[in-house]
Amino acid sequence: MAKQLHIISTGKQSMNEFIQKVELIHPYIDFLHLRERKWTAKDYISVIEKLTELGVQKEKMIINDRIDIAAATGVGGVQLASHSIDASYVKKYYPQFRIGCSVHDVNEAVLRERAGAHFLLYGHIFATTSKPGVAPRGVGKLQQVVESVNIPVIAIGGIKHNNIKSIRRTGAKGVAVLSGVLLADNVKRAVKQFREALKEGEQ
């Protein structure tokens, strides 16, 4: 199975800049997560409409937490945090969605799978400036999570194209990247480097 590349919005770009960057990278990614705490519902809808006009498939788009926006726009899925509505409710009332859940340990992973999650985001794996002073969980714990569930686990946190090999060895089904692509000097070159790193070792 091909490894997945998830790109997550950074919260550090204007809507127009974000749209421009996504236009350049969307052919090379599997999923685009919109996670913007400062955006209003109208902002989300406007961005999704513009991205769709630029050829970004709605099936690739995943909205963080805001199930109402996902339902209104018909995107592919939602990403649920610990404070979000439980995955079981989303699965019951919105069976069309791909459901992702963010988890931080094996117990959470098992519970979210039982609740109906289709995939998990687990991290942070490596040190990252977005979580200063917080120790990374590392690839060993990532492998424990991978082995505890039967759904895809996506590694997040401090992911760089030159440390993906250690991620692949755990059996994780892909990686999620924020600033490593969207804040790169050359976003297209950056996304291609991640894509190539994920392809290495595939049959």
Pairing mode of beta strands 77-80, 61-64: parallel
Higher pLDDT, 201 or 57: 57
Which pLDDT band, with edges at 50, 70 and 90, does 202 fall under?
low
- Give me the residues paired with residue 79 across strands: 64, 100
Q: Which amino acid type is present at position 135? A: A
Give the CATH number, domain containing residue 13: 3.20.20.70
Cβ contact 145:103 at 8 Å: yes
Number of H helices, E strands in the chain: 9, 8
Range of the domain at 77: 4-199
Q: pLDDT tens digits, residue range 130-142?
A: 777 678 899 999 9
Q: pLDDT tens digits, residue range 151-197?
A: 999 999 999 989 999 999 999 999 999 999 999 999 999 999 999 99
Higher pLDDT, 162 or 31: 31
| 15, burial (CB in 10 Å: exposed 0-12, middle 13-18, buried 19+) | middle
Alpha carbons 18 and 9: distance in angstroms, whole number: 8
Residue 180: per-residue pLDDT: 95
- For residue 133, the Cα-to-chain-centroid distance in whole angstroms is 23
Cβ contact 6:29 at 8 Å: yes
- Residue 199 corresponds to which tokens in the numbers above? 């392809």
Q: pLDDT tens digits, residue range 49-93?
A: 999 999 999 999 999 999 999 999 999 999 999 999 999 999 999
- Give the CB-side neighbour count of residue 34, counting CA atoms within 13 A: 33
Structural domain total, the chain: 1
Residue 201: per-residue pLDDT: 61
The residues near 133 (Cβ < 8 Å, ≥ 6 apart) are none
Q: Kindly tell me if the per-residue pLDDT of 47 is higher than 90.
A: yes
The structure's pTM equals: 0.96
Residue 78: per-residue pLDDT: 98
